[in-house]
Amino acid sequence: MNILVITQYFWPENFRINDLISGLIEKGHQITVLTGIPNYPEGKFFAGHGYFKNIIQKYGEAKIIRVPIISRGRGSKIRLFLNYFSFAFCASILAPLLCRKKYDLIFVYEPSPVTVCLPAIILKKIKSLPILFWVQDLWPESLSATRAVSSTLIIRMVRKLVHFIYHQCDLILVQSRAFIPSIESYGIDRKKIFYFPNNTEELYRPVILPDSAVERKNLPKGFIAMFAGNIGAAQDFGTIIDAACELREHKDIYWVILGDGRMRQWAQGKVDERGLAENFLFLGRRRVEDMPYYFSLADVLLVTLKNEYIFQLTVPAKVQSYLACAKPIVAALAGEGGRIIEESGAGLVCPPQDPSALAKKVLEMYHMEKSRLQEMGQNGRHYFENNFERTMLIDKLDNLLKGHQGS
């Protein structure tokens, strides 16, 4: 099949869609990716990219077509609006000119914003192509939860836009089963909604590092609670920092942060203000290929989200990566993400935005026998293999795509 993928984010930005496209190519599909100029999460264009640089590229056998966008900058509300709007506008205008091939269908990847689907709808009208829309974030719920938008008028307008977009799609894929009622509430037939969770790259696996490994030199000796991923408002770093304060007498408990985001400077400032700098390490972004090696050195892996309704429905993508690496998890989550961790037996879960509860869970795992922590990790790996394994999920997607070819 000849598939057009529309996504605002793509390689060299680190998103799940990168590996998914590699998997579809392995299945023999021809892929064209319509995307923007990479600028996430730093907010500035990646080196070697710009309005007139690397507009046409290759990612393996996939062809990349980039449209102009306004970068995220420092993530202010106005700059994010311009970033979202510029991609939707430019891709909608340019897609008919740049994507002239005969395609069998359009696959849209939506971690936010929902407007990423608008260029696909334009092309659908012109080329009579089916749209498969993979929903990673629910709008307008995400806007309310992150306090990005407080105006009820704007929320109502976004809800109408979402209603329009959903009704233009031939199949809606959801990364969490808990998304289904929300999408049905827009009058979407349940038969058009399919649960398709995030998988993770094959490189995420249990590894054992030699004593001489460079990753060991970057970490202290002690009990390591490691967080990986975006440092943003949704991840609720205030709770992590408050929990660390409650455990500050345990000098051998270290909080290691791998990642970056618009709240990083705030988080580092709070850590310094609380006198926690000796037990907090902000290591910044690391190559995705290096992540399993760092995970292998953690005693527990940490995932947190704010206590908002939308986040109860969401499964953070890092959960699959953590499970795949067979490491125990401590989670401050409610809803679907917490359910998966509890159901798998992969770790301990406490309510979100409750620093004392998080501190107690970390301390409980700190006192656990190593064998018990290893057992949790293995439980997680088994659950991952049965529910999120890459080949299994790509096979399912392959069948879905073929079933909607030219529908």
Block means of pLDDT (10 residues each) for the chain, 407 residues, are 98 94 96 97 93 95 98 90 96 96 96 96 96 95 78 92 98 96 97 94 92 88 96 93 97 96 93 96 92 96 93 92 97 95 97 97 98 98 96 94 77
Query: The CATH number of the domain where 246 resides is what?
Result: 3.40.50.2000
Model pLDDT, residue 147: 72
Under DSSP, is residue 69 helix (H, G, I), strand (E, B) or coil? coil
Residues 125 and 273 in one domain: no
Place of tokens 């705030």: 266
8 A C-beta contact, residue 146 and residue 173: no
**Domain assignment of residue 209, yes or no:** no
Domain count, the chain: 2
- Note whether residue 206 is domain-resident: no
Instruction: Say if 204 falls within a structural domain.
Output: no
Which token pair is 365? Answer: 């795992």
Whether residue 12 is contained in a domain is answered as yes
Is position 208 within any domain?
A: no
Judgement on whether residues 258 and 338 belong to the same structural domain of the protein: yes
- Position 118 in a domain: yes
> Does 207 map to a domain?
no
- Domain encompassing residue 239: 214-387
CB 333 within 8 Å of CB 305:
yes
Full-model pTM: 0.88
| 256 neighbors 281 (Cβ within 8 angstroms) | yes
At 217 the pLDDT is 87
